[in-house]
Structure 1
Amino acid sequence: MWRPRNRWAYAVPVIGVAAGLLFGVSAATSQGSDLRPGTRDLVQVVQDGNHRVAKQAATVASLQTQVAQLGKQDAPGSTKLKKTIRTSDGYADTAGLSEVTGQVVTVSLNDSSRDPSTLPDGANLDWLVVHQQDVQAVVNALWAGGASAMMLMDQRVISTSAVRCVGNTLLLQGRVYSPPFVIKAMGDPAKLKKALDDDPSVQNYKAYVSLAGLGYDVSTSSKETFPAYQGALDLKYAKVKEAAQK
C-alpha cells in the first residue's frame, strides 16, 4: 500500500543544503581566518600599538633623511637656503637632532618584588611601584648634571620630552613601556653621578630602595652611540580660554 511521505523527508535535505551553503559562504568570506576572533588581552593590544608606532617612526626617520638630502642639493637661487641649513646643522647636536657618541651613565629603576606583608608598619602598596615623579627626578638630575644627550628606554629624548606614566607603565612618544625603566645620559660620569647623589627627589626614591625593595642601579660605559631624536618638535601646551565679553 502506498503511503504519503512524511514532511521531514523533504525538510531534512533542504536543511542540509542550506547548512552546506552557509558553510561555503563563511569559508569564502573568512579566507581561512576567524570571523569572530576572541577578545585580545591588554598585553597584545599594547604590543600591537608599539609595533605600529615603531613602524611609523621608522617611516618618519626615512622621510626626514630624504628632506635633509634634498635641502642640501645645489639649486639655482638656493644660497639663502644653504646658509640656513648650515646654521641649523650647527644647532643639531645641541637640539638632539644628530647621532652622538660618548661616555654614558645608565640608571635603572624597577618595581619591588617584596611581599607587601613584609613592609614596615604604615606602609602602602604605592611604595612598591616606580612612579612618574621618580623617573622624572632622575631625568631632571641628569640634565642638571650636565648631560649632553639622553635616552629613555630605547628612545632618544630631549629637554622638552614629556615623561608620563599610566599606572606602572611609562608612556613615551606614543609607545608604552613596563619597568625596569632605563635612563641613559651622556656626559662626564663623575658630574652626572654627583648630580644624582645630590638631588633631593632622587635621595627620597633611594630611601625606599631599602624600605620597600625598589630597584636602583647605576653603571657607566666608556663609549656608546645615541641615535638622533625622532619625535615631534612642536610644543603642545594648555591655553587659557578668554572669558566672554559682557
Structure 2
Amino acid sequence: MADTQGPQVTGRSKRTLYIILFAASLIVGFMAAVQISTVRQPATARSDIVELRSELAQQQAKQEGLLKTLDDLQHQLEKYQATGGNRAGMAEALVQEVQDARRQAGLEPASGPGVIVTIRDLPGPAITGQDTHVYDWMLQMIVNLLYGNGAEGIALNGQRLITTSFIREVNGVMQVDTHPISMPYVIEAVGDPDRMKAALTINPIVQDYRQIGKEVTIEVRKGGEVVNLPAYHDPVEFRFAKKEVTGGS
C-alpha cells in the first residue's frame, strides 16, 4: 500500500518548534504585563507627567522591540513548519537565516534608498577666535540621529559601522574602529531618505557645524538612485560575551 502520509517531523525538529513557541509565549506575556503596568499608573500630580511620559516612551520602545522579535520568531516557525521535517529544506531555511542575520549585522554589503551627509570646510576665509575643530562626539551625534530615524545601515568614509564600532579621536587623528579618516567626512545611510533628511534638517547639530565654519550637505538617494554600503570586514571580537555551551541532544 502506498504511503499517503506527509513528511514526518523529527524529534529534533519538534524540540526546535517547542523552543520557538515557548519564546514567543514569553514575549507575548511580557508585552501584556508592560501594557497593564503602563495603563494602571495614574498621573497624580503635574510633576509626574513628564516622568510618566518618559516611562511610557521607554515601554513603547520595549514593546516595539518585542514585536519585532515576535515577528521574527513567527517567520522562523513558519519556515520550520513549511519544511515538514525535511532535513534538506530545514538546512536551506537555516542558511537563509544566517545570511539574513549577517546582512542585518552589517557583515554583508547593502544598498538601497538613503542619504549621503557630507561635512567639509566652508569656502572662504577661516573663522578665527573660536574652536572650529570637528570632534568625534559630533560625528557620533549625526550617526545616532540617523539610526534613531530608521537607518538600517551606515558607513563613515567607507567604513561600515556595526554595533561594536566606535568613532574616536586619537592624538588628533579621527578613527572609525582602528581605521584613520579625515575631512571631508562622508556619512552614508540606507533607510527612509525623507525621514532621515527631515531629522537632520531640524536638528540643532547641523547648525552647530555651520557655526564653526563647516558645510553640511544632505544628498537624497531614492527612486533609481541608491546608497551602496560596503560590508564590515574586520574581525568581530567579543571580550565578555561567550558562546553558550549546551548539552548534546
Give the TM-score normalised by structure 1: 0.52
Tell me, yes or no, if structure 1 residue 213 matches structure 2 residue 213. yes
**Alignment match, 1:233:** 236
Rounded Cα–Cα distance in structure 2 between residues aligned with 1:167 and 1:206: 27
Secondary structure of the structure 2 residue equivalent to 1:179: coil
Q: Distance in 1 between matches of 2:208 and 2:228?
A: 32
Mapping of 1:126-145 within 5 angstroms? Answer: 127-145=131-149
Which residue in the other structure is 1:98 paired with? 108
CA deviations 1:192-241 (Å, max 9, x no partner) are 11222344xxx1452341x331221111222132222212322457xxxx
Q: Secondary structure at the match of 2:165?
A: coil
Cα offset, 1:165, TM superposition: 1.6
Q: Distance in 2 between matches of 1:205 and 1:79?
A: 50
Instruction: Give the residue type in structure 2 aligned to 1:233.
Output: V
2:116–2:187 Cα contact (<8 Å) kept? yes
Change (3 A) 1:233 1:214: same
Q: Which moved more, 1:134-143 or 1:81-90?
A: 81-90
- Would the alpha carbon gap of residues 104 and 160 (structure 1) be closer, same or farther in structure 2, given more than 3 Å must change? same
Cα distance in structure 1, aligned partners of 2:198 and 2:234? 29
**1:79 and 1:187, CA in 2 relative to 1: closer, same or farther beyond 3 A?**
closer
Matched ranges for 1:141-160 at <5 A: 141-160=145-164
**Is the 8 Å Cα contact of residues 112 and 212 (structure 1) preserved in structure 2?**
no
Q: Report how far residue 163 of structure 1 moved.
A: 0.8
1:193 maps to 197
Residues 212 and 157 (structure 1 numbering): CA distance in 2 closer, same or farther, change over 3 Å?
A: closer
The answer to whether the aligner puts 1:179 opposite 2:183 as a matched pair is yes
Comparing 156-165 with 139-148, greater Cα deviation is found at: 156-165
Q: Secondary structure at the match of 1:128?
A: coil
Counterparts of 1:164 and 1:156 in 2: how far apart (Å)?
15
Distance 1:197 1:152, change over 3 A: same
1:169 matches 2:173? yes
Distance (whole Å) between structure 2 residues aligned to residue 208 and residue 181 of structure 1: 12
Cα distance in 1 for residues equivalent to 2:149 and 2:239: 26
Q: Is the CA contact 1:145–1:194 (under 8 Å) kept in the aligned structure 2?
A: no
TM-score, L = length of structure 2: 0.52
For residues 157 and 208 of structure 1, what CA distance do their matches in structure 2 show? Answer: 22
Q: Is the 8 A contact 1:95 1:158 kept in 2?
A: yes
- Which has the greater radius of gyration? 1
Deviations, residues 59-114 of structure 1 (Å, cap 9, x unaligned): xxxxxxxxxxxxxxxxxx99997665443223122111222221131111234676
Counterpart CA distance in 2 for 1:108 and 1:167 is: 23
Give the superposed CA RMSD. 2.9
What is the CA deviation profile of residues 36-58 of structure 1, one whole-angstrom value per residue up to 9, with x for unaligned ones?
A: xxxxxxxxxxxxxxxxxxxxxxx
Contact 2:133 2:212 in 1 (8 A): no
Q: Which amino acid aligns with 1:146?
A: G
SS of residue matched to 2:113? strand
Cα shift at 1:189: 0.7
8 A Cα contact 2:112 2:226, kept in partner:
yes
Cα deviation code 1:139-162 (max 9, x no counterpart): 101111101111110121123311
Counterpart Cα distance in 1 of 2:138 and 2:124 = 19
